[in-house]
């Protein structure tokens, strides 16, 4: 992907996004020259830069702007129309795959809505519904990962003039605090909600508002048996066989339709949009799964991690909590 400064050139965002996904390098960084054969060998499919721009649909005027401003995203070399560039060989397959999953989501929309309204009436009887049984079966077939030696963050809003300690950044103790229901926990269940960046935690905690927050850096040494719902869809797809979608259809529909990342719509204690995600969490806990990695609803490029029981993972706090000004528009934290 290109940096934001490129979009100040006035070029069509949709086309620039496609160029950012397809352009991977150039002849100087993604090819080797064999002196004996007098041939240049590319690591990926290649073509001239002009042909790539034509295929995306840039006009002649737009191409001139690109030649004057866009460099190779891999090595930073200048590019012109005759430059040999390499292209993401999976782009078209990914595009086809995403369109297919989107179609699945659309076809499953009625079914998912029925399940949602069913849970609103009977929140603890999800497995009596056909969609609930599909989710139950689908979770068993999904990949469970090990998170090792990774940095995560936790954010909390200030409370009066209290100076937060690392103890304040742990999951709340339900014996002392009334724990409200969340995306993956019922009332009274204490889970640890983390994010893989300060920007993500700031967006989630502030709901995209500028404010001051306490931030804690956390080193996850080892967290095993984590359900990964944040994988790129292409990872569940075998390009050699268009029928080989390993991602269970109903979970693909839930992910693509935004059910798993849905924002809270009704302020207060009534959170029906979390019924499906809590149903998924209940299945995971019954299956001895230790947590869920899932996309963020408020910071799309980030990943959230919920740990059901911190005693099942190995972690260390990296320093003490820091009180920082969070600016949603800038998101310019130093990592």
- One domain, residues 59 and 133: no
- One domain, residues 295 and 163: yes
For 146-180, the pLDDT digits (tens) are: 999 999 999 999 988 899 999 999 998 888 888 88
- One domain, residues 82 and 140: no
**Mean pLDDT calculated for residue range 252-266:** 60
- One domain, residues 71 and 99: no
Residue 259, pLDDT > 80, answer: no
Distance, in Å, from the CA atom of 56 to the CA atom of 85, rounded to the nearest integer, reads 14
- One domain, residues 256 and 142: yes
Counting residues of the chain whose pLDDT is more than 70, the rounded percentage is 79
For 119-151, the pLDDT digits (tens) are: 989 988 999 999 899 888 888 877 789 999 999
Can you tell me which residue has the tokens 């300060």?
198
Distance between alpha carbon 260 and the CA centroid of its chain, in Å?
A: 11
Write down the pTM of the prediction: 0.67
> What's the pLDDT at 53?
95
- Tell whether 332 is covered by a domain: no
In terms of Cα–Cα distance, which of 331, 327, 323, 326 is closest to 158? 323
- Tell whether 218 is covered by a domain: yes
Which structural domain, as residue segments, surrounds residue 18? 4-89
- One domain, residues 143 and 255: yes
Specify the number of domains making up the chain.
Answer: 2
- One domain, residues 151 and 272: yes
For 20-61, the pLDDT digits (tens) are: 888 989 988 887 877 777 777 777 778 899 999 999 999 999
> What's the pLDDT at 242?
46
- Tell whether 299 is covered by a domain: yes
- Tell whether 177 is covered by a domain: yes
Distance, in Å, from the CA atom of 280 to the CA atom of 260, rounded to the nearest integer, reads 9
For 198-214, the pLDDT digits (tens) are: 988 998 888 777 889 99
Residue 243, pLDDT > 50, answer: no
Q: Residue 127 belongs to what H/E stretch?
A: none
Q: Find out whether 302 and 194 touch, Cβ atoms under 8 Å.
A: no
């Amino acid at each position: 992907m290109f940096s934001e400064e490129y979009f100040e050139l006035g070029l069509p965002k949709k086309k620039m996004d496609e160029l950012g996904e397809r352009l991977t390098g150039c002849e100087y960084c993604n090819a080797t020259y064999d002196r004996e054969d007098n041939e240049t060998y590319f690591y990926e499919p290649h073509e001239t830069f002009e042909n790539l721009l034509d295929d995306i649909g840039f006009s002649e005027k737009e191409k001139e702007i690109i030649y004057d401003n866009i460099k190779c995203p891999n090595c930073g070399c200048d590019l012109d129309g005759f430059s040999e560039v390499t292209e993401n060989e999976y782009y078209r397959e990914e595009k086809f795959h995403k369109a297919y999953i989107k179609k699945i989501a659309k076809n499953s929309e009625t079914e998912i809505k029925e399940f949602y309204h069913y849970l609103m009436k009977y929140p603890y009887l999800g497995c009596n519904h056909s969609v609930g049984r599909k989710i139950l079966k689908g979770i068993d077939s999904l990949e469970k990962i090990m998170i090792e030696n990774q940095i995560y963050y936790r954010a909390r809003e200030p409370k009066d003039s209290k100076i937060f300690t690392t103890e304040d950044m742990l999951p709340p103790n339900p014996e002392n605090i009334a724990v409200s229901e969340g995306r993956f926990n019922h009332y009274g269940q204490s889970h640890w909600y983390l994010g893989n960046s300060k920007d993500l935690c700031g967006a989630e905690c502030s709901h995209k508002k500028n404010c001051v927050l306490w931030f804690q850096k956390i080193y996850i040494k080892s967290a095993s048996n984590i359900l990964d719902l944040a994988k790129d869809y292409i990872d569940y797809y075998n390009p050699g066989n268009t029928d080989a979608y390993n991602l269970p259809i109903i979970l693909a529909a839930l992910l693509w339709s935004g059910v798993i990342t849905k924002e809270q719509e009704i302020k207060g204690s009534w959170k029906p949009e979390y019924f499906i995600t809590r149903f998924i969490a209940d299945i995971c806990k019954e299956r001895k799964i230790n947590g869920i990695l899932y996309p963020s609803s408020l910071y799309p490029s980030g990943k959230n991690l919920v740990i059901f029981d911190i005693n099942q993972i190995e972690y260390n706090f990296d320093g003490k909590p820091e009180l920082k000004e969070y600016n949603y528009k800038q998101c310019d934290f130093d990592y």
